[in-house]
Structure 1
C-alpha cells in the first residue's frame, strides 16, 4: 500500500545516539524533522559505555544535560597495570574545562531510551520505528525517500537527508562512498556483567603481552570486560561461557558473576572518503569507525550531530547555503580522524606486542611520572586532541593576540551573574551567534547603535569579565569568569577583544573591542538573518571605507 507523499525539512535515517541527538537538536530549533529507524525500538544491549565532556556539552545544547547526568557515573579515570598487576600509570582528570567531567560511564540502552523519550518535547519532530529506507533519489531541491513501515510504503520528500545508519550504512553504500583506513586483525571478546565484585571506581587496563584486557565500570553496579583474543582462538570458542569465566578469573574477582552479554568484535579504524553527496550527509558510524581504546567512537558521532544540526537550520533559510554546508566535512573529518589516531596510539600502550616492548613502555611512563608537567599531561588527558578547526566556518588571523583561540571550542566556566547566581556559561548564551566581549569593562565598548546593529544581524552581545572584575548592569548581560578558564592560554590573550561564537560555541573570529564592526561580515556568514536596506547601505559604505584605507 502506498500513501501520499509527505514533506519534511530533514530526514534522519537511523536512531542510534547520533541520529537521536541530531533529531533532538533540530527539534529544539523548530526544524521539521522525520527520524526513521528500521528496528522496532532503540538498542536493548549495551554497546558504548563511555561519554565525554564534549558530548555532554552537545547534550546540554539539546536541553538534556540534567537527564543524562542522572543516568551516568561521573568522573572516572584509568589505571594502567603491567603483567604483575602493579600500576605504572594513571589517568584521573578532574578539570572540567567544558563544564563536565571528561569521562563518564553510562548504559547505552538507557541513554538511547532517554533521547527517544525526549523527542516528544518537539512538535516539529516525528519518530518512526520499524520504518526502513528502501530507496532514495535526489535532485537540486529535494531528496525523495521510499520508506517501508509494515505493509505501507511512504514517499518522503525532504530538503536534506542525514544518514546515521551505522557502520554498515546502506545509504553510504548506495552513494558508492568508500571507507578509507584499516581493519584490526585482532578480535576482542566483550563481556558485560549484570553485577560485579570489583570495587574499583576506575577503568583498569591490563597491558600484558600474553593477553591485553580492559575492565570498565558502569552505573548501577555493572561492569564490562574486554579481552584480546590470541592467535588460534575463534569467535565460536570465545563466545562459550566457560571461556569467559576463565578470562574473568585471571583479572579480578568477577569470575562467577552473571553474564549479560558475551560477543566477539573486530575493530576498525576507517573513515568515509566523502561525508556529503549534494543533499545527503553521513554522520556517526556511517562516516567513521573508531577503535574503542580511547572511548571516542560514539562521542565522535555526537560531535557530528552538534556540528551539523545548526548548519542545517541556517541552510533552510539561506538562498545559497552551499559554502556553509561544505564546512561540515571540512571541520569534522580531520577531527574525527585525529580521534581514530588517538585510539591507535592508545592501543599500542594497551597491547604491547612483546615482553621487552611492554617493559620499555612501563619504564617510560614511570620516568614521565617523575616530571610534573609530563605527569599532568597524561593524568589530565591533555593528550586528547582539542576540539579545534584549522579550516571551515572560521576567519583565521596569522598571528597576534587571540589568534590561537580561533577555531577552538571555548571553555565553559561557571560564571557569576549580576544577581550573584552561579551557572555554566552556556546556560546564559542564546542559540544564535554571540559576540562575547571579554574585557574588564565590556559595557564601555558597545554603544546603543552597535548593540542594535549586532542584534539586527541575528547575533546577541554578552559581556564577560575576568575573575577579578565584578559584572555591572548594562543594556546586555555581563558575566564574571568565576572558574578562571579564560585566564588560561590561549584565551587569556583574548582580554580586550570580542570573540564571535558560533551556535556550537566555537570561535569563528576575533576583533579588538575598539573595532567590533569588523565582526559583521563573519556574522553574516553564520546566520540567515535578513538584512535591512539600511544595513545593506551601511555595509557598502564600510567596504568602500576599507578599500580607501
Structure 2
C-alpha cells in the first residue's frame, strides 16, 4: 500500500468490535482498511462472555464454524449467599436466536479468529503498528495522519469508524463528552489456567464481606473477580499470597493454579453524547462503557457494528443516502443504555453493602422463584432487554401486542428445505435484505419493485403442518422454498396479523405486510425514499 491511499471505510481498532466490523464489511463487498496501533491483536483475556446475538453475528460473518468449537456453550450463573448457600440460579435453555444465550470464550482466541477471517477478502486490508495521530474532516472525505515505525502515512476515507476503546482518541479529538458515572468500587481480576474442578457454571458470591465471582472458561481457564473494600490499594490486593487465600475459600482446587493475568479495574456506566459527527462514527467502548456484571460490554459493541455494517454498505454502494447513518445512534443508543441499567441492577445483588441488604435482596429473589412465571422470567434470562428499536429504519408495527414487532430482532429457528435438510434461518435469508412470506403469495407491485431494486432474496414458507407442494415449483434465482418446521415464523406472522415480512441484513424486522391492511406497501416505499433510495 502507498501513501495517500483512499478507502470507502477505515476502521480504527482491532479489538472484537473493529475486527467484527471489518469482517462484515468484507462479506458485504466494501473496500475497507483496518488500522491498529499495536503489533498484533490483544493477548489478554479481557471479556469472557459472548451471547447468542454475537454468535449470530459471527454466523453472518461466516466464522461460526471456527468459533463454536473454541467456546463453552450454554453456561449459567449460580448465586450464593453470605453463608455459602445457593439461593438462586439462572440457566437459560432457549435458543431463540439460534444459539445458547450465555457462552464462555477467550478473547485472545476470538481476536485471532476474527483477524484470520479477514484473509478471505482481497478488498479488506489490515495494518498493524499504525497509530492515528490526528484527522481532519473535509466535505467529501476524512484525511488521517498516521504514524508507522516513525514514518508518516497519509490516508483518506469516505467514512471513519472509531472502535478505539474507552479512551478513544477520536472521540476526544471530536470533543464528544461521555455522560454517566464512574463508580468508586474497584475489583480484582485473576485469570488462571489448567483448572481441574469440572463445574461449568459461574458462581456469584453475594457476600457483603467480600463479593466475588468465579467464571470457568474454555480450555481449562477460570476467572476470579473480588471486590475491593474501601481503603484497599491495588498493591494490597495484588499480593499473590493474599488473593490465593481468597480463592482457596471459594474453590480449594483452584488455589494453586498458574496465573495468566491479574489486574485491578474500575467500572463505568457511561454513554457518548453523540455517536456520529460528520463522516466519523463511534462504536463499542468508544461509544459506551458498560459495567461487567451482565457480561454485555463486548456484546454491545458487536451489536453496534452489526447495525452499522449493512448501513455503510448501502451508503457506499449508493443504494441509500448518508442520512441512513443517522439511524445508527437512534437505534442503538437506547438499547445500549438499557443493558447498562440491567448490569447496574445485577451489580446491586452482587455487591451488597451490608448483611441486612444482602439478606433482603436474596430473600426477594427466593420469593420470586416460588411463582412459576417469575421463576421462568429469571431462569430463562427474560429480564434482559429485548433487541428492539423505538425509532429508526423500519415501518412501525400495526399490532402493538405482537411478541415480535417491526424494529425487533427476528428469531432464528431451523427451517426445512425440500429433501429434508434443516438449516438455521439466516443461512436461507442470505447476507442482504430478504422477503419472507407464504408460498404462492403474490407481491404488491410496490414491494416487487423494492425486492428487485435491492436484490432481496425471496423466501417462501410452507406451514409446519403442511407438506411441500407437489410437484415442486421450478427453482428460480433469488427465490427459495422452505418449511417452517418449528412453527416460529407462522406464530410471528399470525401475532402481527401479517402475510409476509421484510428482514434487514442485520435480521431486524423491517416491515410486516398484510393484504388486509391498506398502505403497508406505501409506507415501506416511503421509508426507502426518505432515506435516499432511487426507486421507480
Is TM more than 0.5 here? Answer: yes
- Tell me the SS of whatever aligns to 1:359: helix
Deviations 1:332-353 (A, max 9, x none): 1111111100100000111112
Does 1:477 find its partner at 2:474? no
Following TM superposition, by how much is the alpha carbon of 1:402 offset from its aligned partner in structure 2, in angstroms? Answer: 5.1
Following the alignment from structure 2 to structure 1, what is the Cα–Cα distance between the partners of residues 434 and 154? 39
- Structure 2 partner of 1:170: 169
Distance 1:391 1:447, change over 3 A: closer
- Structure 1 partner of 2:461: 464
Distance 1:358 1:263, change over 3 A: same
Following the alignment from structure 1 to structure 2, what is the Cα–Cα distance between the partners of residues 402 and 192? 44
- Tell me the SS of whatever aligns to 1:268: strand
Distance 1:450 1:46, change over 3 A: closer
**Counterpart contact for 1:82–1:362, Cα < 8 Å:** yes
- Structure 2 partner of 1:274: 274
Q: Which moved more, 1:135-144 or 1:351-360?
A: 351-360
Following the alignment from structure 1 to structure 2, what is the Cα–Cα distance between the partners of residues 448 and 477? 20
Following TM superposition, by how much is the alpha carbon of 1:450 offset from its aligned partner in structure 2, in angstroms? Answer: 6.8
Following the alignment from structure 1 to structure 2, what is the Cα–Cα distance between the partners of residues 322 and 453? 19
- Tell me the SS of whatever aligns to 2:159: strand
Post-superposition, which runs of at least 4 consecutive aligned residues in structure 1 deviate over 6 A?
Answer: 447-450, 526-529
Following TM superposition, by how much is the alpha carbon of 1:406 offset from its aligned partner in structure 2, in angstroms? Answer: 1.1
Following TM superposition, by how much is the alpha carbon of 1:497 offset from its aligned partner in structure 2, in angstroms? Answer: 2.0
- Tell me the SS of whatever aligns to 2:117: helix
Q: Which moved more, 1:511-520 or 1:53-62?
A: 511-520
How high is the TM-score relative to the length of structure 2?
0.94
Following TM superposition, by how much is the alpha carbon of 1:464 offset from its aligned partner in structure 2, in angstroms? Answer: 2.7
- Tell me the SS of whatever aligns to 2:440: helix
**Counterpart contact for 2:451–2:457, Cα < 8 Å:** yes
- Structure 2 partner of 1:499: 501
- Tell me the SS of whatever aligns to 2:386: coil
Following the alignment from structure 1 to structure 2, what is the Cα–Cα distance between the partners of residues 452 and 317? 18
Deviations 1:475-512 (A, max 9, x none): 53222222333355x65413642111111111121120
- Structure 1 partner of 2:255: 255
Following TM superposition, by how much is the alpha carbon of 1:400 offset from its aligned partner in structure 2, in angstroms? Answer: 6.1
Following the alignment from structure 1 to structure 2, what is the Cα–Cα distance between the partners of residues 527 and 273? 24
Deviations 1:358-413 (A, max 9, x none): 11122112112111111111000000001000101111145468595111100000
Q: Which moved more, 1:140-149 or 1:474-483?
A: 474-483
Count of aligned pairs: 527
Following TM superposition, by how much is the alpha carbon of 1:465 offset from its aligned partner in structure 2, in angstroms? Answer: 3.6
**Counterpart contact for 2:141–2:157, Cα < 8 Å:** yes
Does 1:360 find its partner at 2:363? no
Following TM superposition, by how much is the alpha carbon of 1:3 offset from its aligned partner in structure 2, in angstroms? Answer: 5.8
- Structure 2 partner of 1:85: 84
Following the alignment from structure 1 to structure 2, what is the Cα–Cα distance between the partners of residues 499 and 522? 16
Following the alignment from structure 1 to structure 2, what is the Cα–Cα distance between the partners of residues 3 and 523? 41
Does 1:186 find its partner at 2:185? yes
**Counterpart contact for 2:188–2:263, Cα < 8 Å:** yes
How high is the TM-score relative to the length of structure 1?
0.91
Equivalent residue runs for 1:356-435 within 5 Å:
356-399=356-399, 405-435=405-435
- Structure 1 partner of 2:311: 311
Following the alignment from structure 1 to structure 2, what is the Cα–Cα distance between the partners of residues 333 and 447? 34
Following TM superposition, by how much is the alpha carbon of 1:447 offset from its aligned partner in structure 2, in angstroms? Answer: 8.6
- Tell me the SS of whatever aligns to 1:98: coil
Gaps of 5+ in 2: none
Equivalent residue runs for 1:162-241 within 5 Å:
162-241=161-240
Following the alignment from structure 2 to structure 1, what is the Cα–Cα distance between the partners of residues 74 and 388? 23
Q: Which moved more, 1:290-299 or 1:451-460?
A: 451-460
**Counterpart contact for 1:315–1:528, Cα < 8 Å:** no
- Tell me the SS of whatever aligns to 1:42: coil
Distance 1:458 1:520, change over 3 A: farther
- Tell me the SS of whatever aligns to 2:306: helix
- Tell me the SS of whatever aligns to 2:361: helix
Following the alignment from structure 1 to structure 2, what is the Cα–Cα distance between the partners of residues 330 and 450? 26
- Tell me the SS of whatever aligns to 2:54: helix
- Tell me the SS of whatever aligns to 1:384: coil
- Structure 2 partner of 1:540: none
Following the alignment from structure 1 to structure 2, what is the Cα–Cα distance between the partners of residues 372 and 331? 33
Distance 1:392 1:400, change over 3 A: closer
- Tell me the SS of whatever aligns to 2:70: coil
Distance 1:134 1:3, change over 3 A: farther
- Tell me the SS of whatever aligns to 2:317: coil
Deviations 1:423-452 (A, max 9, x none): 000000122211211x4xx21334999757
**Counterpart contact for 2:38–2:130, Cα < 8 Å:** yes
- Tell me the SS of whatever aligns to 2:213: strand
Distance 1:308 1:447, change over 3 A: closer
Deviations 1:273-328 (A, max 9, x none): 00001100000000010010000000000011100001001111338723201000
- Structure 2 partner of 1:524: 528
Following the alignment from structure 2 to structure 1, what is the Cα–Cα distance between the partners of residues 9 and 441? 43
Q: Which moved more, 1:403-412 or 1:211-220?
A: 403-412
